[in-house]
Amino acid sequence: MRPTSVILTDFDYLVPKTLEEALKEKRERKGSYILAGGTDLIPKMRGQVVKPVFLIDISGLKELDYVKEQEGRIRIGAATKISRIIDSKAKIGILQEACKKLGNPLTRNKATIGGNLCNASPAADTATPLMVLGAELVLRRLDGERMVPIEEFFVGPGRTVLKDDEILTEIRITPPEDGVKTKFLKVGLRKADAISVVNCAIALKAQNNVIMEAKIALGSVAPTPVLAKEARKVLIGNKLNEDLIEKCAQVAAKEVKPISDVRGSARYRELLVEGCVKKVLRELME
């Protein structure tokens, strides 16, 4: 059988040498797409899900490729490869846990954190750990920038608050305080190289076994990655024990709004949320 040929629509391919040039092109080329690693965008182009007229390639911009600590915050350039984040010495363990489960080694050597976020998949593996870390995103345009909390960045499947003249340039994270425990869990249809059926990230801080602070983020269970705010309320001020874990997991499962698709039914995802929250909380209790 002959392989099926793929015909891409015509587009202009632009390779800016600086971020300023990229921002200028983004402002002038209405409806343009940013190309960084291309692990999400190129398959969409092949499937004609997207048909860009202009493609702005920022993969060679070193000014967007870094992981560094500055003024007590960890700053990650949007064009930083997933593999580089895994190898970083920065205090971002839960993000590195998630990155290790993203795709396969070839994908991780090509994919960027900015691309994973801007693709705006409800199942994005980096979104939930960044949410429990309280990350902020820097959105740049030619005449300025704005900071957006990551939980406000996503507005729907494939949709973000990015404006036509803006580019995501940096992710900023305040390292967790001493005593904060974090854990990421991903459930897929196979052990590796799988899209999440459900993913779960939790951060907890306890004193004398009483939970002082908590964040629970869930992916692939709603139109966007979500913070389980009601489940968090169940935890705060209480001692972490089996009864509390059961109650928290049940509340979390009621907060989500999953769909049924080829990876699982809505009901299956609700049950997975309950199971994942229980598993992660039990591991954090140890």
Q: What's the CATH number where 217 sits? A: 3.30.390.50
185 plus 169 within the same structural domain: no
141 plus 197 within the same structural domain: no
244 assigned to some structural domain: yes
CB 186 within 8 A of CB 101: yes
82 assigned to some structural domain: yes
68 plus 155 within the same structural domain: yes
157 plus 186 within the same structural domain: no
**Sign of the dihedral through C-alpha 131, 135, 136, 140:** negative
Q: Enumerate residues 6+ apart whose C-beta is below 8 A from 35.
A: 41, 55, 56, 57, 58, 59
Q: Is the pLDDT of residue 186 over 50?
A: yes
Where is the domain boundary, 146, 173, 200?
Answer: 173
The CATH number of the domain where 101 resides is what?
A: 3.30.465.10
Where is the domain boundary, 147, 173, 199?
Answer: 173
Quote the tokens at residue 133.
């870390």
**Over the stretch 156-172, which tens digit does the pLDDT of each residue have?**
999 999 999 999 999 99
1 assigned to some structural domain: no
User: What's the total number of domains in the chain?
Assistant: 3
7 assigned to some structural domain: no
122 plus 187 within the same structural domain: no
69 plus 51 within the same structural domain: no
pLDDT, averaged across the chain: 94
3 assigned to some structural domain: no
Q: Is the pLDDT of residue 2 over 70?
A: no
CB 99 within 8 A of CB 116: no
126 plus 144 within the same structural domain: yes
221 plus 273 within the same structural domain: yes
2 assigned to some structural domain: no
194 pLDDT tier (thresholds 50, 70, 90): confident
149 plus 192 within the same structural domain: no
Per the structure, the complete domain to which residue 161 belongs is given by 62-173
Average pLDDT over residues 208-225: 95
Q: Is the pLDDT of residue 238 over 60?
A: yes
- In which element (H, E) is residue 46 found? helix 41-46
**Over the stretch 112-150, which tens digit does the pLDDT of each residue have?**
999 999 999 999 999 999 999 999 999 999 999 999 999
Where is the domain boundary, 141, 173, 205?
Answer: 173
Q: Is the pLDDT of residue 4 over 60?
A: no
29 assigned to some structural domain: yes
40 plus 97 within the same structural domain: no
What is the pLDDT, as a whole number, of residue 53? 92
84 plus 158 within the same structural domain: yes
Q: Is the pLDDT of residue 73 over 60?
A: yes
**Sign of the dihedral through C-alpha 120, 122, 123, 129:** positive
168 assigned to some structural domain: yes
94 plus 52 within the same structural domain: no
Q: Is the pLDDT of residue 1 over 90?
A: no
Q: Is the pLDDT of residue 7 over 70?
A: no
